[in-house]
Amino acid sequence: MAKIAVVKEILNANDQVAAENRAAFAGAGVFVLNLMASPGAGKTSVILATAARLPQGVRPAVIEGDLASSIDADTVAARGIPVVQINTGGSCHLDAPMVRAALPHLRLDEIDLLLIENVGNLVCTADFALGADVAVVVASVPEGHDKPYKYPGMFAAADVVLLNKVDLLEVFEFDVAYFRRGLAMVNPDVPLFLVSCRTGDGLDAWVEWLLDKSRVVK
* Residues at the interface with a second copy (CB under 8 A): 38-40, 66-69, 71-72, 90, 92, 119-124, 140, 142-144, 146-147, 149-153, 165, 168, 171
Q: Report the nearest approach of a second copy to the CB of residue 135 (Å).
A: 17
- 178/209 with CB nearer a second copy: 178
Q: Report the nearest approach of a second copy to the CB of residue 154 (Å).
A: 9
Q: Report the nearest approach of a second copy to the CB of residue 69 (Å).
A: 5
- 199/204 with CB nearer a second copy: 199
- 59/144 with CB nearer a second copy: 144
Tell me how far CA of residue 75 lies from CA of 3, 135, 158, in angstroms: 60, 23, 26
Query: What amino acid occupies position 7?
Result: V
Q: Report the nearest approach of a second copy to the CB of residue 158 (Å).
A: 15
Instruction: Classify residue 45 by burial, with Cβ atoms within 10 Å: 0-12, 13-18, 19+.
Output: buried
Q: Report the nearest approach of a second copy to the CB of residue 193 (Å).
A: 19
Q: Report the nearest approach of a second copy to the CB of residue 77 (Å).
A: 16
- 58/86 with CB nearer a second copy: 86
Instruction: Classify residue 138 by burial, with Cβ atoms within 10 Å: 0-12, 13-18, 19+.
Output: buried
Q: How far apart (Å, rounded) are the C-alpha atoms in residues 63 and 57?
A: 20
- 198/213 with CB nearer a second copy: 198
Q: How far apart (Å, rounded) are the C-alpha atoms in residues 73 and 48?
A: 11
Which residues lie closer than 8 Å to 5 by C-beta, 6 or more apart? none
Chain centroid offset of residue 95 CA: 13
- 149/209 with CB nearer a second copy: 149
Which residues lie closer than 8 Å to 116 by C-beta, 6 or more apart? 32, 33, 34, 35, 62, 63, 65, 94, 99, 130, 132
